[in-house]
């Protein structure tokens, strides 16, 4: 059987009627042991050392101007085993119009900021409550029709119009290819791709040391206000007795389709666990999956939307790939029942002239589907955060509505699915921020009773190695924007304090109760109770205009106002090499330059999630960065000061999960310093970087890591000239845009503030 398939596939890819002439530019190719490319007979053959003891081979050609995978093969011992042949990449894109939202404009109006065209053009890319593909009437005030803005001429209001939405499939007019050696990888590019409003290239990247292949369209548009989503796949898999599509369903059970039904008119979305679908052939299997995090824009739910698909095209061929739906279907918040469409399905942003990357990952195996799945899942550690000695994994900022849900279930002792989902992903500290759910407008006793239930429920459902740390989010205290309050112990406080009311009073049931009348009260409570304040989603949502508007306030400089919350999305741009690069990281570095001439401590980041309830089958891992906090164990006595103090010191790092930084230090004194960091990764590492500021500018040194293989670990020692610099930080990023960041270190502390 295997021999017959080998011959058939061989005839397919050498057929002169099917192939176009192919000329490849090898000017940037350098032959490397275990990583070779050769062009002959209108076929480019790339061979590389794959997983331990294996070799992989990719043969590429052109058919009617379209790049075609003539063959994918693997060899462990002996002869090559052809896994698939005659495959064509397919890409589809849907584009809509990016708009600024009323939610962004409201805080700017309150700040009396002039709404200029320049400002609108800047902040529209960070819209959260945007849904460019939704033509339904808008009722949500955060996305309501934008009233006329003086001097703004090209920001259209709502409702959206059908002509704003365009759908397109990739068209290829390729004449040749270019091969580039980039460390321990080869990049093969085919110029001449048109994908709707985008123009660019199709690129394949193979990585020494793994059977992983990256297929991506890299393209740009000059149009303004483009929001988009893409769909990618491979078609041309042959159907025979050995063929099947395999995946694990949302419950973790293996499912399969033997392609025995009628052809499909369109794709068949699969709510597959781990965002993974496998095409199995007589020669092996190929797993297809998107990048684990930068495939997703920010949403408030992590429900599995069905991110992979198959399609039976005919009696003899089928296709598989990745996708995003046109709208957010979700179970109703109160019961996981009927599906509905929300207004915050914002899509990706494509700023004019930026190179947007639209990747699909393929993992090739000579074994059946289950083996390909294991190989692919190694890159996300099966969607689990790896335990590190001396660290606790902390996930924060969940709108879990914990008290309300438990009350509806009948008792605080009922167990929420959320606890099991996050714990199974490797989280040790689960920190919801149910401030809004508690209700700042509630009567005094209702709020205090709800807080008491909040703390009691957390106490009952925590464990020796799993802590529920009940925090709050809100806008109380007049600090500006939204604020996460991370508390060190159960804390009772009430918003609003009138003249003559005490700041602190004793309650017969709840003990000490604070009344917060403004920023001074909030910061005094923070100092007395050792709580930390972070601003979630800065420069977006209800924090648009912040923290810029408070950069000179005393409370912003306080050590208890610790920094910002960072999650990808909210204006996710496909050109970003780092998660939340444009909005979050640029701001973080600016903030530390703002305070460079003050004795104030540097600002840190915490990982936030921003989702609501979690349930079985939800895609928690893809939507949740975490903090690795340096602690030997989670607190079990209701005293969370060890967590607060570690975060106050910056003894933690932010990560998407694939890249870890187990140790980090800035060694030396004076101008001669050394950045020392242990880095561990799964996907092939792209680069590490040293970022610094001098109070005015931000600069960085990028150290390429493309010579390193996948699933590795390395100690980096990077000489650093600290002269004239006030702070420095370190980060590491992989080829899929995943990464980890440590907190910055101050290099020089001015004796007094110049302000």
* pLDDT tens per residue, range 234-261: 999 999 999 999 999 999 999 999 999 9
Q: In the chain, which residues fall in CATH 3.20.20.140?
A: 391-657
Helix ranges (DSSP H) in 540-640: 554-557, 586-594
For residue 752, give both structure tokens. Answer: 């007094």
What gap in Å lies between CA 451 and CA 415, rounded to an integer? 18
pLDDT of residue 136: 82
pLDDT of residue 538: 95
Pick the CATH number of 2-93+168-380 from 2.40.128, 2.60.120, 2.70.98, 1.10.10: 2.70.98
Beta bridge partners of 194: 171, 199
Q: In the chain, which residues fall in CATH 2.60.40.10?
A: 658-755
> Where does residue 362 rank: exposed (0-12), middle (13-18), buried (19+ CB within 10 A)?
buried
What gap in Å lies between CA 751 and CA 602, rounded to an integer? 15
What gap in Å lies between CA 484 and CA 398, rounded to an integer? 11
C-alpha of 7 from chain center: 43
Q: What is the DSSP letter of 187?
A: E
In this structure, the strands spanning 429-432 and 391-398 are: parallel
What gap in Å lies between CA 30 and CA 656, rounded to an integer? 33
Whether the CB-CB separation of 731 and 664 falls below 8 Å is answered with no
DSSP per position, 125-160: GG-SS--TT--SPP--GGGPPPPP-TT--S---SS-
Whether the CB-CB separation of 666 and 728 falls below 8 Å is answered with yes
What gap in Å lies between CA 313 and CA 321, rounded to an integer? 13
Q: Which residue has the tokens 């924007």?
A: 481
Report which of 634, 591, 584 is spatially closest to residue 607, judged by C-alpha positions. 584
pLDDT of residue 334: 34
Q: Is the dihedral of CA 422, 423, 424, 427 positive or negative?
A: positive
For residue 526, which phi and psi values (nearest 5 degrees)?
-60, -40
Whether the CB-CB separation of 587 and 564 falls below 8 Å is answered with yes
pLDDT at 335 over 60: no
Report which of 620, 630, 627, 738 is spatially closest to residue 682, judged by C-alpha positions. 738
What gap in Å lies between CA 533 and CA 729, rounded to an integer? 21
Give the mean pLDDT of 57-86: 96
Report which of 625, 741, 654 is spatially closest to residue 298, judged by C-alpha positions. 625
Edge-first strand listing for the sheet containing 660-669: 660-669, 672-680, 713-721
* pLDDT tens per residue, range 23-32: 999 999 999 9
* pLDDT tens per residue, range 448-503: 999 999 999 999 999 999 999 999 997 778 999 999 999 999 999 999 899 899 99
What gap in Å lies between CA 443 and CA 494, rounded to an integer? 10
Report which of 39, 50, 47 is spatially closest to residue 76, judged by C-alpha positions. 50
Residue 334 neighbours by CB distance under 10 Å? 11
Q: Which residue has the tokens 């819209």?
A: 127
What gap in Å lies between CA 627 and CA 740, rounded to an integer? 10
Residue 755 neighbours by CB distance under 10 Å? 10
What gap in Å lies between CA 528 and CA 512, rounded to an integer? 12
* pLDDT tens per residue, range 171-223: 999 989 999 999 999 999 999 999 999 999 999 999 999 999 999 999 999 99
Q: Under CATH, what is the fold of the domain 391-657?
A: TIM Barrel (3.20.20)
pLDDT of residue 158: 82
pLDDT at 147 over 90: no
What gap in Å lies between CA 409 and CA 364, rounded to an integer? 46
Higher pLDDT, 138 or 387: 387
For residue 300, give both structure tokens. Answer: 């408030």
Q: What is the dihedral of CA 510, 514, 517, 522, to 10 degrees?
A: -130
Beta bridge partners of 93: 168, 230
pLDDT of residue 748: 80
**How does 195-208 read in b/e, with b if 16+ C-beta sit within 10 Å?**
bbbbebbbbbbbbb
pLDDT at 46 over 90: yes
pLDDT of residue 753: 45
Cα→Cα distances 636→85, 463, 491, 641, Å: 57, 7, 17, 11
Grade residue 571 by pLDDT with cuts at 50, 70 and 90. Answer: confident
pLDDT of residue 593: 98
* pLDDT tens per residue, range 627-667: 999 999 999 999 999 999 999 999 999 999 999 999 999 99
For residue 522, which phi and psi values (nearest 5 degrees)?
-60, -45
Report which of 160, 185, 211 is spatially closest to residue 375, judged by C-alpha positions. 211
In this structure, the strands spanning 727-734 and 745-746 are: antiparallel
Q: Which residues are within 8 A (CB) of 121 and not within 5 positions of it... i.e. 6 or more apart? A: 224
Report which of 737, 680, 741, 730 is spatially closest to residue 709, judged by C-alpha positions. 680
End-to-end CA distance of the chain: 80
Angle between helices 444-461 and 402-409 (to 10 degrees): 80
CATH number for the region 658-755 comes to: 2.60.40.10
pLDDT of residue 437: 54
| Diameter of the chain measured on Cα atoms | 91
Grade residue 443 by pLDDT with cuts at 50, 70 and 90. Answer: low
What gap in Å lies between CA 754 and CA 73, rounded to an integer? 66
pLDDT of residue 6: 39
What gap in Å lies between CA 9 and CA 87, rounded to an integer? 11
What gap in Å lies between CA 727 and CA 718, rounded to an integer? 16
Give the mean pLDDT of 94-107: 93
Give the mean pLDDT of 108-121: 93
Whether the CB-CB separation of 53 and 76 falls below 8 Å is answered with yes
pLDDT at 154 over 70: no
Report which of 498, 408, 480 is spatially closest to residue 444, judged by C-alpha positions. 498
pLDDT of residue 13: 40
Whether the CB-CB separation of 524 and 533 falls below 8 Å is answered with no
For residue 694, give both structure tokens. Answer: 């001098």
pLDDT at 4 over 50: no
Strands (E) across 76-182 are located at 81-84, 88-97, 166-169, 171-172, 176-181
Edge-first strand listing for the sheet containing 43-49: 35-40, 43-49, 55-63, 66-75, 81-84
What gap in Å lies between CA 752 and CA 44, rounded to an integer? 65
Report which of 175, 187, 171 is spatially closest to residue 62, judged by C-alpha positions. 175
* pLDDT tens per residue, range 681-737: 999 999 999 999 999 999 999 999 999 999 999 999 999 999 999 999 999 999 999
C-alpha Rg value of the chain to the nearest Å: 27
pLDDT at 594 over 60: yes
pLDDT of residue 570: 78
HEC secondary structure over 372-423: HHHHHHHHHCCCCCCCCCCEEEEEEEECCCHHHHHHHHCCCCCCCHHHHHHH
Cα→Cα distances 156→148, 197, 221, 353, Å: 9, 20, 20, 22
Give the mean pLDDT of 672-680: 98
Q: In the chain, which residues fall in CATH 2.70.98?
A: 2-93+168-380
pLDDT of residue 670: 93
Q: Which residues are within 8 A (CB) of 52 and not within 5 positions of it... i.e. 6 or more apart? A: none
Grade residue 2 by pLDDT with cuts at 50, 70 and 90. Answer: very low
């Amino acid at each position: 059987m295997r021999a017959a398939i080998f011959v058939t596939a061989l005839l397919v890819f050498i057929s002169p009627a099917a192939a176009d002439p192919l000329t490849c530019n090898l000017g940037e190719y350098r032959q490397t042991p275990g990583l070779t490319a050769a062009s002959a007979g209108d076929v480019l053959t790339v061979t590389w050392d794959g997983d331990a003891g294996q070799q992989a081979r990719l043969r590429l050609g052109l058919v009617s101007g379209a790049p075609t995978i003539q063959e994918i093969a693997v060899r462990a011992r002996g002869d090559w085993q052809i896994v698939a042949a005659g495959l064509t990449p397919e890409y589809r894109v849907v584009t809509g119009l990016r708009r600024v939202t009323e939610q962004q404009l409201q805080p700017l109006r309150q700040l009396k900021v002039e709404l200029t065209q320049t400002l609108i053009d800047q902040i529209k890319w960070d819209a959260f409550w945007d849904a460019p593909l939704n033509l339904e009437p808008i009722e949500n005030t955060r996305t309501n029709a934008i009233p006329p803005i003086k001097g703004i001429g090209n920001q259209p209001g709502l409702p959206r119009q059908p002509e704003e939405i365009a759908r397109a499939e990739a068209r290829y007019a390729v004449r040749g290819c270019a091969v580039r050696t980039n460390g321990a990888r080869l990049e093969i590019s085919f110029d001449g791709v048109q994908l709707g409003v985008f123009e660019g290239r199709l690129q394949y990247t193979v990585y020494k040391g793994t059977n992983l292949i990256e297929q991506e369209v890299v393209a740009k548009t000059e149009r303004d206000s483009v929001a988009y989503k893409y769909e990618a796949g491979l078609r041309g898999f042959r159907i025979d007795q050995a063929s099947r599509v395999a995946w694990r369903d949302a419950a973790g059970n293996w499912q399969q389709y033997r392609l025995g039904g009628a052809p499909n008119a369109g794709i068949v979305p699969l709510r597959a666990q781990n965002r993974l679908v496998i095409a199995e052939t007589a020669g092996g299997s190929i797993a297809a999956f998107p990048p684990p995090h930068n495939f997703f824009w920010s949403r408030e739910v992590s429900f599995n939307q069905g991110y992979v698909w198959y399609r039976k095209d005919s009696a003899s061929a089928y296709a598989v790939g990745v996708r995003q739906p046109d709208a957010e279907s979700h179970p109703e918040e109160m019961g996981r029942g009927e599906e509905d469409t929300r207004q915050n399905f914002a899509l990706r942003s494509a700023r004019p002239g930026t190179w947007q990357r639209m990747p699909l990952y393929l993992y090739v195996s000579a074994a059946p589907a289950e083996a390909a799945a294991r190989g692919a899942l190694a890159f996300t550690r099966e969607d689990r955060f790896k335990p590190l000695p001396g660290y606790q994994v902390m996930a924060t900022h969940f709108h879990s509505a914990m008290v309300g849900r438990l009350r509806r279930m009948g008792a605080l002792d009922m167990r929420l699915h959320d606890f099991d989902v996050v714990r199974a992903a490797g989280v040790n500290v689960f920190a919801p921020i149910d401030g809004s759910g508690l209700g700042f407008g509630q009567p005094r006793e209702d709020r205090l009773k709800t807080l008491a239930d909040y703390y009691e429920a957390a106490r009952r459902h925590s464990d020796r190695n799993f802590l529920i740390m009940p925090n709050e989010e809100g806008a109380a205290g007049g600090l500006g924007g939204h604020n996460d309050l991370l508390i060190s112990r159960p804390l009772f406080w009430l918003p609003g304090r009138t003249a003559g009311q005490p700041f602190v009073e004793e309650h017969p049931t709840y003990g000490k109760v604070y009344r917060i009348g403004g920023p001074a009260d909030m910061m005094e409570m923070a100092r007395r109770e050792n709580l930390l304040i972070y601003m979630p989603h800065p420069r977006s949502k209800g924090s648009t205009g912040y923290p810029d508007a408070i950069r000179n306030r005393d409370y912003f400089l306080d050590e208890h106002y610790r920094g910002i919350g960072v999650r990808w999305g909210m204006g996710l741009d496909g050109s970003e090499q780092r998660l939340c690069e444009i909005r979050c990281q640029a701001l973080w570095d600016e903030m530390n330059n703002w305070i460079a001439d003050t004795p104030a401590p540097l600002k840190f980041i915490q990982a936030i999630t921003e989702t609501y309830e979690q349930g079985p089958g939800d895609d928690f891992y893809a939507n949740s960065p975490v903090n690795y906090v340096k602690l030997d164990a989670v607190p079990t006595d209701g005293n969370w000061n060890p967590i607060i103090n570690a975060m106050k010191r910056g003894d933690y790092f932010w990560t998407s999960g694939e890249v870890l930084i187990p140790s980090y230090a800035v060694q030396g004194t004076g101008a001669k310093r050394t950045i020392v960091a242990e880095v561990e990764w799964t996907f092939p590492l792209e680069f590490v970087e040293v970022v610094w500021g001098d109070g005015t500018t931000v600069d960085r040194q990028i150290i390429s890591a493309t010579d390193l293989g996948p699933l590795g670990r390395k100690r980096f020692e990077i000489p650093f000239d600290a002269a004239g610099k006030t702070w420095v930080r370190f980060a590491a990023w992989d080829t899929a845009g995943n990464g980890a960041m440590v907190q910055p270190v101050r290099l020089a502390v001015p004796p007094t503030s110049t302000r």
